[in-house]
Amino acid sequence: MPRGRPIKSAIRQALVEILFVMKKAYGYELYKVYDAVYPKATLRAVYYNLRKGVELGEFKINVIKSEKGEYSWGTEAEKTYYELGDAARAAGDPRVREYLEKQHSGPQESRQAKAGDPASSS
C-alpha cells in the first residue's frame, strides 16, 4: 500500500460529474452548481481541486479568456474554462443533470404559466 494521503477527493469527483454534463465551464460557474447540488465546500477548496485535477489529468484547461465587465476589483476578469481530461472517470450523477435541466427550463415554464398559456396547464 502506498504511503501518504490518498489521491482521490469527493469534491474533485463531484466536479468531474458536473463537467461531464456541462462539457465546459469556468471555475465560479462550477462552484455555483457544486454549491447547489452537493454538500457545502468553500470556493477555495473548489479552485484547489480544479488545479489538482489539472495536475492529475482529470481536467484540461480549455481556454483562458479575459472578459470585460463591471467587477468590484475593476473592469476585467480572467476566466479559466475547464473540460474533462483523459483521467476523469464520471459515474453520471443524475442530481447534476436534473439540477441543470431545471435551471435551463425553469424561468420559461413559469413565464408561460403566468401568461395563461393553455399548453402549460394539465
Q: Which residue has the higher pLDDT, 54 or 112?
A: 54
Number of domains in the chain: 1
Q: Is residue 110 part of a domain?
A: yes
Q: Is residue 122 part of a domain?
A: no
Is pLDDT at 112 greater than 90 in this prediction?
A: no
Confidence of residue 105 (pLDDT cuts 50, 70, 90): confident
Task: Report pLDDT digits (tens) over 87-103.
Answer: 999 998 999 999 999 98
What is the DSSP annotation of 1-58? ---SS-S--HHHHHHHHHHHHHSSEEHHHHHHHHHHHSS---HHHHHHHHHHHHHHTS
Rounded to whole angstroms, how far apart are CA atoms 49 and 43? 10
pLDDT of residue 110: 44
Q: Is residue 121 part of a domain?
A: no
Confidence of residue 6 (pLDDT cuts 50, 70, 90): confident
Average pLDDT over residues 82-90: 94
Note the pTM of the prediction, 2 decimals: 0.79
Is pLDDT at 120 greater than 90 in this prediction?
A: no
Task: Report pLDDT digits (tens) over 21-67.
Answer: 999 999 999 999 999 999 999 999 999 999 999 999 999 999 999 99
Helix (H, G, I), strand (E, B) or coil at 91: coil
Which residue range(s) make up the domain with 79?
10-116
Q: Is residue 75 part of a domain?
A: yes
Which backbone phi and psi does 38 adopt, to 5 degrees? -110, 170
Q: Is residue 1 part of a domain?
A: no
How many other CB atoms sit within 10 Å of the CB of residue 6? 7
Average pLDDT over residues 2-22: 91
